Amino acid sequence: MGTLALDDENGSSDVYLSLGLKTSGKGVTKTPRVLSPLSSILERSVQRNEMLLETTNIKEVITIFHGLRAPPLSIGQYIDRICKYSGCSPSCFVVAQIYVDRYLKCTEVHLTSFNVHRLLITSVMLAAKFMDDAFFNNAYYAKVGGVSTAELNRLEMKFLFTIDFRLQVTLETFTKYCSQLEKEAAGVQIERSIQACGIKENWSKSKNEDSTYARTVAR
């Protein structure tokens, strides 16, 4: 197994704790915080790429990871589903992001709503197989991901050959991605706080018709 030692030697213990990659020892099980910033990063990438493809003459490269239509589940909902039913360690989602980036760098593929879900289930499955001591078979991950076992088998092989079976992740690379995710998590939290304050202030002002100005609610 390629388990990473998330110790304090590189001074990143706080980052791992904040993302839910390490437990605080209190025995409280909850959704790992890493899922939210990961979803945010992927969603922004998809939006940017789809805008790029719509406004330029760049032709989208179609692969076996592309569906005929975008799945009904959002990226966040899909990641939550994988986390809930796969039973993989939270670190697998960081490693999965690294794998997806490796795949994209080896191809001319753009991450879009048509391929992100299949890339996610494939990369998380591979991360679980490589990182965790216990994992399920492909048939189970296929049910979690909403694809057939035969299709997931093909996706797995295509993914592995594309990245040249480079599944090993150094602690340095892992920590770099964790730092990016922590920054994203802080940004998401700030944005939510601003939105909450904006809504509260707007509601308060709406009760006072004599207000000389109106606040803009972040949307």
pLDDT score for 182: 94
Contact 49, 66 (CB under 8 A): no
Residue 215 clears pLDDT 50, i.e. is over it:
no
What is the average pLDDT across 68-96? 96
Tokens coding 67: 């569906």
Residue 4 clears pLDDT 90, i.e. is over it:
no
State the architecture of 32-186 in CATH terms: Orthogonal Bundle (1.10)
pTM: 0.81
Query: For the segment 168-214, what is each residue's pLDDT rounded down to a tens digit?
Result: 999 999 999 999 999 999 876 555 555 555 545 554 444 444 443 33
pLDDT score for 181: 96
Domains of the chain, by residue range, sit at: 32-186
Contact 144, 79 (CB under 8 A): no
pLDDT score for 19: 84
Query: For the segment 131-162, what is each residue's pLDDT rounded down to a tens digit?
Result: 999 999 999 999 999 999 999 999 999 999 99
pLDDT score for 204: 45
Query: For the segment 30-67, what is each residue's pLDDT rounded down to a tens digit?
Result: 789 999 999 999 999 999 999 999 999 899 999 999 99
